[in-house]
Structure 1
Amino acid sequence: MTVDMNDLAAFIAVARAGGFRGAARTGSVSASGLSVAISRLEATLGLRLLNRTTRSVSPTEAGRRLLETVAPMFAEIDAAVDVLNGFREQPAGTLRLNVPSGVARFILPTIVAPFLEAYPDIRLDVVVEDGFVDLLAAGCEAGIRYDERLEQDMIAVPIGPRRQCFTTAASSAYLDRHGRPDHPRDLLSHRCLRGQFAGGAIPLWEFEKDGEIVKVDSPGPLLVKPAAAFDLIIATALAGGGVIHLFDELVRPHIDSGDLEPILTSWSESFSGPFLYYPGRRHLPAPLRAFVDFIKSRPMIDAFAGSA
């Protein structure tokens, strides 16, 4: 059995993009051409690799197994070919990053512009996703996550502030009506505005004081999915709808303006900042090597101004 490598590449592209049109937009083959290539691959293998509907395309069980097996191989081939970039005066190519929404919002903006200015021949493709991710299967060379969400056996490089915290707040009008909590457990009787990850998990609100850790799971009148829909949660709090517990960077401007009032400040728990992580390889793709070197050259920040 001889399998055409171009057909395998077409399958990987469509499976990652979740459709033929999406894959065609990122490549040089039309949607119809991709369809022909995958039909040919399925005929060669004697297996259906993709479930096709009018709205979506997703791998079958056999397709998922094939993707898990061949995607890393193609990534290694790309990395090997990319070694030739070392002969260029400037690194060139595409760097695909998978990052959580918070990082995309208030960490990458200070990094992307100077990096692209320093490396004009590199293109950044940024995928914003809050859950756990298999980088290679997702077609990304690197990701950014917090330490509890790092994939195993990865090289991790600090990026952004080294300490961050969550801030709990509500409007003064809301607190005048419902009272100001003295202990995190008091939030169980408050209207808490919460987010839910795309995978379904609803993160608990965690607090720490003098070695005591309290996790609160308070039902509230608003649940936003994905949890990254910060604007709606904050807007509801500003309108007096309840209590929020978000990254200090998001809440601090509204506290400084007086529109929100911080609560439980002595219970604010700090945590380590995010990491850039990537698979350990003998030869890193030139765009990734340039990005790693660029991040390492930047001074580390202990914490954002205003964080507790």
Structure 2
Amino acid sequence: MQDELGDLKAFARVAGAGGFRQAARELQVSASGLSDAVRRLEERLGVRLLHRTTRSILPTWQGKQLLARIEPAIADLELALATVSLTGAQAAGTLRLNVPVNSARLFLPRVLPAFLQRYPRVTVEVVAQSDVVDVLAAGCDAGIRYGERLEQDMIALPVGPRIQRFATAASPSYLDANGRPQHPQDLPRLNCLCGRFSKGGAEIWQYQQGSEICRIVPQGSLVYSAGTAVDLAVSAAVSGLGVIYLFEEWLQPYFDSGELEPLLANWWQAFPGPYLYYSDRRLVPPPLRAFIDFIKSESNAGPGKPDDEP
């Protein structure tokens, strides 16, 4: 069994490297040893797994079928061995996170410095974008998203404030010159700074007071990328260009300084906070396990544990 596993790993590495010599350099073994391993596997299975030419090594149709089955299993096996070897030791390796821009701005700065100080052998790579992506296909270990965008086969851990709100604001000078709205339906007469998603859809400003719900399609002289140009919109609002609609937490420092004035606060809609999510179909890499445990410990140490935390 051990010899069969070694031959399978040799075949997968040769196919991935596109040649015996390159795979041998990566594994620091002899090319002839890898060739013998692949030959043994082919003889055992009774099929040719690799097309061998003087210029390239390519998997046959049967080889591709076998690779599709064994590569995930080999990856899980190597991860299991790495996890066991780190039991009782400090986690090490790279943690890749895919997060929305607001989480990169509002949540991660609170936790990443302390996490990386506790785990100095871990490197964190953060990809911030607003589009919903398949985190595994994107090469990430986990992501942060809101509940309505989570896939059902994912494990979700609450992170950050459990209740958030979208706020509406403008500079006092702009409001002095143009008036202060008393109802969301007053907003279309003002210059609204409009966020647009990368796929072309415009942000809809949503409000609720009791059973009354209002949805406003903003229009104005500035249209910005809702994911990557938010700071530009905030600066424009502070300078007196118009009305902005953004996470309350993002705008709170400007409320505190008086640079922006809250508008229609009794209409601001509340919604559940984000989740850290990861696949339940694969072993959890040690850096991700350490991050999960760190988030849970920080949550338990806070003023209160979220009601929906597992």
Which range, TM-score by smaller chain? 0.7 to 0.9
Instruction: Give distance in 1, aligned partners of 2:271 and 2:107.
Output: 15
Count of matched residue positions in the alignment of Structure 1 and Structure 2: 253
Cross-structure match for 1:235: 235
Shift of 1:260: 1.3
Larger radius of gyration: 2
Q: Which runs of structure 2 are paired with 1:169-180 in the superposition (5 Å)?
A: 169-180=169-180
Report the AA paired with residue 229 of structure 1: A
8 Å contact from structure 1 (residues 160, 301) kept in 2: no
Alignment map for 1:108-119 (pairs within 5 Å): 108-119=108-119
Contact preservation (8 Å) 1:85, 1:91: no
Letter in 2 for 1:163: I
User: Is 1:220 the counterpart of 2:220 in the alignment?
Assistant: yes
Q: What corresponds to 1:65 in structure 2?
A: none
Deviations 1:162-193 (A, max 9, x none): 11111111112211222211111211221110
The alpha-carbon deviation at position 103 of structure 1 amounts to: 0.4
Say if 1:7 and 1:170 are closer, same or farther in 2 by CA, change over 3 A.
farther
Secondary structure, aligned partner of 2:79? helix
Please say if 1:249 is aligned against 2:244: no
In the TM superposition, 1:36-51 aligns within 5 A as none
Is 2:288 the counterpart of 1:288? yes
> 1:258 and 1:137, CA in 2 relative to 1: closer, same or farther beyond 3 A?
same
Residue type at the aligned position of 2:184: P
Residue aligned with 1:296, SS: helix
Contact 2:164 2:272 in 1 (8 A): yes
Report the equivalent of 1:273: 273
In structure 2, distance between residues paired with 1:123 and 1:245: 34
Matched, 1:184 2:184: yes
Partner of 1:233, secondary structure, is helix
How far off its partner does 1:6 sit?
Answer: 4.4
**What is the TM-score of this pair, normalised by structure 1?**
0.73
Alignment correspondent of 1:16: none
What is the match of residue 129 of structure 2?
129
Change in 2 beyond 3 A, CA 1:8/1:99 = farther
1:228 to partner: Cα distance: 3.2
Taking structure 2 as the reference length, the TM-score comes to 0.73
Counterparts in 2 of 1:259 and 1:79: CA distance versus 1, 3 Å: same
- Map 1:200-215 to 2 at 5 A: 200-215=200-215
Post-superposition shift, 1:119? 1.4
Give the aligned partner of residue 102 of structure 2: 102
CA RMSD, Structure 1 to Structure 2 (Å)? 2.9
Q: CA deviation at 1:130?
A: 1.1
Measured against aligned partners, the alpha-carbon deviations of 1:198-244 in whole angstroms (never above 9, x if no partner) come to: 23222211111113221111221111125332211011111111100
CA 98–282 in structure 1, closer or farther in 2 if over 3 Å, else same: closer
Unaligned runs of 5+ in 1: 12-27, 29-38, 47-67, 303-308
Q: CA deviation at 1:89?
A: 1.4
Matched, 1:199 2:202: no
- Call closer, same or farther: CA 1:71–1:4 in 2, change over 3 Å: closer
Give the aligned residue type for 1:102: N
Which residue of structure 1 lines up, in the alignment, with residue 156 of structure 2? 156
Q: Name the SS of the counterpart of 1:161 in structure 2.
A: coil
User: 1:4: how far off?
Assistant: 6.1
- Give the equivalent residue in structure 1 for 2:80: 80
Q: CA contact under 8 A between 1:85 and 1:92: conserved in structure 2?
A: no
Question: How far off its partner does 1:87 sit?
Answer: 4.0
CA-CA distance at 1:80 after TM superposition? 3.2
Structure 2 unaligned residues grouped into runs of 5+: 1-7, 19-25, 27-54, 62-67, 305-310
CA positional deviation for 1:301: 6.5
C-alpha contact 2:95 2:123 (8 A) present in aligned 1: yes
Q: Which moved more, 1:149-158 or 1:76-85?
A: 76-85
Partner of 2:39: none
Mapped contact 2:193–2:218 kept (Cα < 8 A): no
> Structure 1 pair 76/189, CA: closer, same or farther in 2 (3 Å)?
farther
The answer for the alignment partner of 1:61 in structure 2 is: none
Which secondary structure does the structure 1 equivalent of 2:162 belong to? strand
Instruction: Decide whether aligned partners of structure 1 residues 44 and 249 sit closer, same or farther in structure 2, where only a CA change above 3 A counts.
Output: same
Letter in 2 for 1:230: V
Specify the alignment match of 1:32 in structure 2: none
Q: Residue by residue, what CA displacement relative to the aligned partner does 1:116-139 show, whole Å, maximum 9, x if unpaired?
A: 111121111111121111011001
Question: What is the identity, as a one-letter code, of the residue corresponding to 1:235?
Answer: S
Distance 1:181 1:128, change over 3 A: same
> Does the 8 A contact of 1:169 with 1:261 survive in 2?
yes
